[in-house]
Chain A
Amino acid sequence: MKAIFIVYNQALTEKVEYMLDRLEIRGFTQWGDVSGRGSVSGDPHMGTHTWPEINSATLTMVDNDKVDVILDKISKMNSVNEEVGIRAFVWDILQSV
């Protein structure tokens, strides 16, 4: 089991949801209206007057074999237009109930 944390421009919400559905990933946790900025490039997404764009975040726990598929799709999604912005981070799940 791995945890994947996906943060993305709010404008990608539908695409992310669609991706999860297509990959038959049922479970996830989602936060709307989260702000943040990238470590390297891109405009901050702060939801303020200065930086009006804002992010959503999705945390989903998937089987190890699905991780690569997801990351592949996300990187494709990102390549459509990198200005929009989507990032995914993966970490191990040690235990769950």
Chain B
Amino acid sequence: MSIYGSAVKKPITTIMVFMAVIVFGIYSLINLPVDIYPEIEFPAITVYTTYPGASASDIEINVSKPIEDALNTVDKLKEITSVSRDNYSVVTLEFEYEVDLSEAANDIRDAISLVEDYLPEDAEKPMIFKFNSSMIPILMFAVTAEESYEGIEKILDEKIINPLNRIDGIGSISLMGTPIREVSVDINPRKLEAYNLSVEQIGGILKAENLNMPSGNIKMGQMDYPLRVEGEFEHSDYIKNIVLGNYNGQVIYLKDVAEVRDSIKDMTIDEKINGVQGLRLMINKQSGANTVKVAEEINEKLEELKKDLPADIQMQTIFDTSTFIKGSISNLTETLMYALLFVTLVVLLFLGRWRATFIIVLTIPISLIVSFIFLHITGSSINIISLSALSIAIGMVVDDAIVVLENIAKHIDRGASPREAAIYATNEVWLAVIVTTLTVVAVFFPMTMISGMTGIMFRELGWIVTITVVTSTLAAITLTPMLSSKMLKLQDKDAPQKKFSFDKILLPQFDKLDNWYGRVLNWSIHNKWKVTISALLLFVASLFLAGSLGTEFMPESDEGRLTIAVELQSGTRMERSVQLARQIDSIINKYPEALIISTSAGADENGGMMSMFRASGSNIINYVIKLKDVEDRERSVWDIAESIRSELAVFPEIVNFNIETSNSGMTSNTVDVEIFGYDIDKTTYLANELSDKIKQIEGARNVEISREESKPELRIELDREKMASVGMNTASVATAMYNRVAGLTATKFREEGEEYDVVIRFKEEFRQSITDIENTALFTPTGKIIRLGEIGVVKEYWTPPNIEHKRRERLVTISVTPYKTSLGELANSIQLVIDKADRPKDVMINVGGAYEDQMESFADLGLLFLLSLILVYIVMASQFESLKMPFIIMMSIPFAITGVLFALWITNTTISSISALGIIMLVGIVVKNAIVLVDYINLMRDRGIDLDEAIVISGKSRLRPVLMTALTTILGMLPLAMSTGEGSEIWSPMGISVIGGLVFSTVITMVIVPVFYRFMAHKGERDKKQIVRTKFKFMDM
């Protein structure tokens, strides 16, 4: 028994099977996490090695290079890059997307163990870690405080951080710009010398005084007493009264030579939130945890915890990545609902029957729900890609059900009982239905095989559309006949027609449309040359249009967040940066769109990890600005960035600044000019020269050179002979200088279970100039005082702070962000600049960055397009058992491209991976239309009707089904193309291109395909009878 036969005969079983699918689908849906993209593990592993005290160039030669050499042979390595900075080296290995990173990490570990012995002895063991999305904070809060500011770290730690850490999925919580309590002992070196004391001596005394020690037990009478010496400082105030010694019979207290302050450590970073003193709290999630779920739990818990905070502490959200995700997803869900509504209306409009519409529309939720099961099984999430895939599928899943139902309805109208009609009508069409589905699968299935970045994005789309369309076909040949057998009834032809019935109002209109189209077709096939030539002209014209369209990799989205990095002259002290920051603050405050402005000037000593991702230093001011919601403002984030840019450009102090509008990391959108060359001076010069020229290019923004400007440093150059004569060596001098300038952490002051450093150093006024340094008194081993200036000199030097490598060669990168221009255009104009510049012989220049990704991605998509075409041809050739028919049908594809180009041009959209994907999807959808038409013409011809007449009859008869399938798809995508909310920039190009392509190609298909049919089928088909005649001669003998 056939599948549709059993389905009709066992309605309960059929319903139960689909119920099971629905139940499992809903279960999956409930358990599906929500995210922005399918999970992408960025395939990179970083090797981080510290070598304290080494300069960037030492690190380059002694650390980075040997590690690079060792790792260069690791399997499936795509690219190796490194940055060598003072004190540390970061080597980054980028792999192909499909690589198993744990395996790669093992390979790296093996390779490193081989070179470890050759690294400098003082270098620490290299650390290996995987970069993943969990390293980007998902939530950032601004915390401001007044009275509680000094103790804020402890308060936050107890009241916020510890309770929050209990939430599942939180990776880490970190504070930026926290004031750290410290007991500082600021020495006056003059007095110290007068008393003949050294910093180290004071350190020793403090350490010796701050002590609790058990001293044994005492037995007295019946008791046993433990004996203890209690000397620990109970209060920081005691420290200043510590006795340092005797001088000429006089007791010297610490307060005589130093000032003791229990306050906040000298800050190297200044954090202001909306101009108020504050700090930032960042929360990272664990890798694999769901952003939305974690963020929701945090926000919920935080509401509770905030109640316990002192009244002056305020917490505001600077950004919450989950709101963008939730906004995008709810936007798309809304889109999906509209699509469902539109499709239902179209079906109702064309069929005019409620019951039939219900049966057809029912296939939509069933097919879509299966994709949730797929997502659940593969551990994926509801994200932009999976929801767009559903939007695309929604218009296609009804097609099969429509074909089946129409045939059943035809049989019922002819008097068959619904049950029989259901079985036999399905029998007639089921094969055709499966074949048309195959053409769609032929387009979408190859998507599951793309590699690289594009693959990650579109593999899921390919799977979902394939699965939903296949499910819809299954439903169309089981559920649809079953429901039809139960629900459809023979319409009584003799019953009086209602005044506003479908038959009375719409049917005549459709008939008119059919007739009009019949006349158009008739004219076209008689003027086939005119039609063909004008169509060709249109196609060629659209290709010219393509040249004027911009290209980009991924459309950028307005996330309502700006990050600005302002760089001052390197070496600028933090106080100066802070002053300027206040000036910039007042500029940004003028923007009504800015909700929260978080400023941080300088670098956080403890934020070492952060400095791996973004530059920091006393001369850098970083801003994070949260804007109002997209709906509540008129200017886009790019316009605001542009306006801020022009205001910042006025400051002469600002060496460079960079304004970024996206922080998701996914959609980096820069053209990178990579200058390879060993000579640092030459390449730096060239980079500066090029960047000046690139800045002239219209639309080039954020022109940044990756090699930071050389920074000034003071070096103490010691004279070894002189040192030896006083019995000192480099190490002893270096330690002594460290203790006097950076400070000697003598001991820890304990209070309420917390420990605070007690730091001894020279008072600031005694370490402010080169003279001060040279005047620093050092003690020789014999106890004599000697000035640093006597054994060495202090000199000023300029050093490059970072040296970068790519593919083991030195390079400088100039990165450029496009504004109101496309990546492709920008890359082209940059290439022109490079071609004109005269470059030294040993320097190589390459244009890459997101532009490179874009090219790779377009190449992938091009290949995919070709693959789809071939597969579609194969499916059709076997369906029609003809090599010629597929060609006629595929004639509609070029016009789909024409339509896409026109649509992009009209809406001023760029060609991106997303809109290119739209073109590929069109192959399947457009071809489907043409198949319906050509198949019917073939049928008519086989039934012995004349070519011209067959074309016109088929055209008239197939106009409605073609319009219906096209309209369901177009209207299904319309909400996608029109949406303007959060994240819509990402998917609307796909909607625009599919709609444009489909509208245009449907119109053209209905004319061009019949005309081509007339061209090509003309001869062969007519001679069929003649051929048979010559084959069977016996009748004419």
> Taking beta carbons and an 8 Å cutoff, which residues of A are in contact with B?
9-15, 49-54, 80-81, 83-84
Nearest first, the 8 A-B pairs at minimum CB distance are A81-B415, A52-B428, A11-B416, A50-B942, A80-B415, A81-B414, A11-B424, A11-B420
> What are the residues of chain B within 8 A of A13 when measuring CB–CB?
420
Closest to B432 in A: A49
Which among B416, B419, B425, B939 is the interface contact of A84 at CB below 8 angstroms? B416
| CB pair A12 B943 closer than 8 Å | no
> Taking beta carbons and an 8 Å cutoff, which residues of B are in contact with A?
411, 414-417, 419-421, 424-425, 427-429, 432, 939, 942-943
In the bound assembly, the distance between CA atoms of A50 and B419 in angstroms comes to 24
> What are the residues of chain A within 8 A of B427 when measuring CB–CB?
10, 52, 54
| CB pair B943 A50 closer than 8 Å | yes
> What are the residues of chain A within 8 A of B425 when measuring CB–CB?
11
Which among B414, B415, B420, B939 is the interface contact of A14 at CB below 8 angstroms? B420
In the bound assembly, the distance between CA atoms of A78 and B432 in angstroms comes to 29
11 contacts between A and B (CB under 8 A): A10-B424, A11-B411, A11-B416, A11-B420, A50-B943, A52-B429, A53-B428, A54-B427, A80-B415, A81-B415, A84-B414
> What are the residues of chain A within 8 A of B420 when measuring CB–CB?
10-14
A84-B943 contact given A14-B420, A53-B428, CB 8 Å threshold? no
> What are the residues of chain A within 8 A of B416 when measuring CB–CB?
9, 11-12, 84
> What are the residues of chain B within 8 A of A50 when measuring CB–CB?
939, 942-943
In the bound assembly, the distance between CA atoms of A11 and B414 in angstroms comes to 10
Closest to B414 in A: A81
> What are the residues of chain A within 8 A of B421 when measuring CB–CB?
11
* A95 CB → nearest B CB, Å: 37
Closest to B940 in A: A50
> What are the residues of chain A within 8 A of B429 when measuring CB–CB?
52
* B489 CB → nearest A CB, Å: 15
Which among A15, A49, A53, A81 is the interface contact of B417 at CB below 8 angstroms? A15
Closest to B431 in A: A49
In the bound assembly, the distance between CA atoms of A95 and B176 in angstroms comes to 108
> What are the residues of chain A within 8 A of B428 when measuring CB–CB?
52-53
> What are the residues of chain B within 8 A of A12 when measuring CB–CB?
416, 420
| CB pair A51 B943 closer than 8 Å | yes
* A22 CB → nearest B CB, Å: 16
In the bound assembly, the distance between CA atoms of A54 and B2 in angstroms comes to 15
In the bound assembly, the distance between CA atoms of A14 and B485 in angstroms comes to 14
In the bound assembly, the distance between CA atoms of A54 and B420 in angstroms comes to 13
* B38 CB → nearest A CB, Å: 41
Closest to B420 in A: A11
Closest to B939 in A: A50
* B1028 CB → nearest A CB, Å: 15
> What are the residues of chain B within 8 A of A49 when measuring CB–CB?
432, 939, 942
In the bound assembly, the distance between CA atoms of A24 and B968 in angstroms comes to 52
In the bound assembly, the distance between CA atoms of A76 and B943 in angstroms comes to 29
* A41 CB → nearest B CB, Å: 14
| CB pair A14 B419 closer than 8 Å | yes
* A50 CB → nearest B CB, Å: 4
Closest to A84 in B: B414
Chain A CB within 10 Å — which of B411, B416, B420, B432 has the most? Answer: B416
Chain B CB within 10 Å — which of A10, A11, A50, A81 has the most? Answer: A11
> What are the residues of chain B within 8 A of A15 when measuring CB–CB?
417
In the bound assembly, the distance between CA atoms of A13 and B420 in angstroms comes to 8
In the bound assembly, the distance between CA atoms of A9 and B416 in angstroms comes to 10
> What are the residues of chain B within 8 A of A53 when measuring CB–CB?
424, 428
> What are the residues of chain B within 8 A of A84 when measuring CB–CB?
414-416
Closest to A18 in B: B417
Closest to B941 in A: A50
> What are the residues of chain A within 8 A of B939 when measuring CB–CB?
49-50
**Further pairs besides A11-B425, A53-B428: 11, Cβ < 8 Å:** A10-B427, A11-B420, A12-B416, A49-B939, A49-B942, A50-B942, A50-B943, A52-B427, A54-B427, A81-B414, A84-B414
> What are the residues of chain A within 8 A of B424 when measuring CB–CB?
9-11, 53-54
Closest to B415 in A: A81
In the bound assembly, the distance between CA atoms of A52 and B517 in angstroms comes to 27
In the bound assembly, the distance between CA atoms of A81 and B413 in angstroms comes to 9
In the bound assembly, the distance between CA atoms of A52 and B943 in angstroms comes to 11
In the bound assembly, the distance between CA atoms of A15 and B420 in angstroms comes to 10
In the bound assembly, the distance between CA atoms of A48 and B609 in angstroms comes to 72
> What are the residues of chain B within 8 A of A52 when measuring CB–CB?
427-429
> What are the residues of chain B within 8 A of A54 when measuring CB–CB?
424, 427
* A79 CB → nearest B CB, Å: 10
In the bound assembly, the distance between CA atoms of A54 and B411 in angstroms comes to 13
Closest to A80 in B: B415
Closest to A52 in B: B428
In the bound assembly, the distance between CA atoms of A28 and B415 in angstroms comes to 25
In the bound assembly, the distance between CA atoms of A54 and B414 in angstroms comes to 15
* B110 CB → nearest A CB, Å: 63
Closest to B417 in A: A14
In the bound assembly, the distance between CA atoms of A47 and B942 in angstroms comes to 14
> What are the residues of chain A within 8 A of B411 when measuring CB–CB?
11
In the bound assembly, the distance between CA atoms of A10 and B421 in angstroms comes to 9
Closest to B880 in A: A49
Closest to A11 in B: B416
In the bound assembly, the distance between CA atoms of A51 and B428 in angstroms comes to 9
> What are the residues of chain A within 8 A of B414 when measuring CB–CB?
11, 81, 83-84
In the bound assembly, the distance between CA atoms of A11 and B429 in angstroms comes to 14
In the bound assembly, the distance between CA atoms of A9 and B417 in angstroms comes to 12
In the bound assembly, the distance between CA atoms of A53 and B416 in angstroms comes to 13
In the bound assembly, the distance between CA atoms of A53 and B411 in angstroms comes to 11
Closest to A43 in B: B943
* A47 CB → nearest B CB, Å: 9
Closest to B407 in A: A52
* B933 CB → nearest A CB, Å: 15
In the bound assembly, the distance between CA atoms of A94 and B566 in angstroms comes to 111
> What are the residues of chain B within 8 A of A80 when measuring CB–CB?
415
> What are the residues of chain A within 8 A of B432 when measuring CB–CB?
49
> What are the residues of chain A within 8 A of B417 when measuring CB–CB?
14-15
* B640 CB → nearest A CB, Å: 62
* B742 CB → nearest A CB, Å: 88
In the bound assembly, the distance between CA atoms of A29 and B473 in angstroms comes to 36
In the bound assembly, the distance between CA atoms of A85 and B411 in angstroms comes to 12
> What are the residues of chain B within 8 A of A81 when measuring CB–CB?
414-415
In the bound assembly, the distance between CA atoms of A9 and B939 in angstroms comes to 20
In the bound assembly, the distance between CA atoms of A94 and B419 in angstroms comes to 39
In the bound assembly, the distance between CA atoms of A21 and B432 in angstroms comes to 36
In the bound assembly, the distance between CA atoms of A54 and B415 in angstroms comes to 16
> What are the residues of chain B within 8 A of A9 when measuring CB–CB?
416, 424
In the bound assembly, the distance between CA atoms of A9 and B420 in angstroms comes to 11
* B974 CB → nearest A CB, Å: 35
In the bound assembly, the distance between CA atoms of A1 and B419 in angstroms comes to 34
* B942 CB → nearest A CB, Å: 4
Chain A CB within 10 Å — which of B425, B427, B943 has the most? Answer: B427
Closest to B942 in A: A50
> What are the residues of chain A within 8 A of B415 when measuring CB–CB?
80-81, 84
* A84 CB → nearest B CB, Å: 5
Closest to B413 in A: A81
> What are the residues of chain B within 8 A of A83 when measuring CB–CB?
414
In the bound assembly, the distance between CA atoms of A83 and B939 in angstroms comes to 19
In the bound assembly, the distance between CA atoms of A50 and B416 in angstroms comes to 21
Closest to A33 in B: B427
* B141 CB → nearest A CB, Å: 67
In the bound assembly, the distance between CA atoms of A52 and B636 in angstroms comes to 59
Closest to B943 in A: A50
* B943 CB → nearest A CB, Å: 6
In the bound assembly, the distance between CA atoms of A79 and B936 in angstroms comes to 29
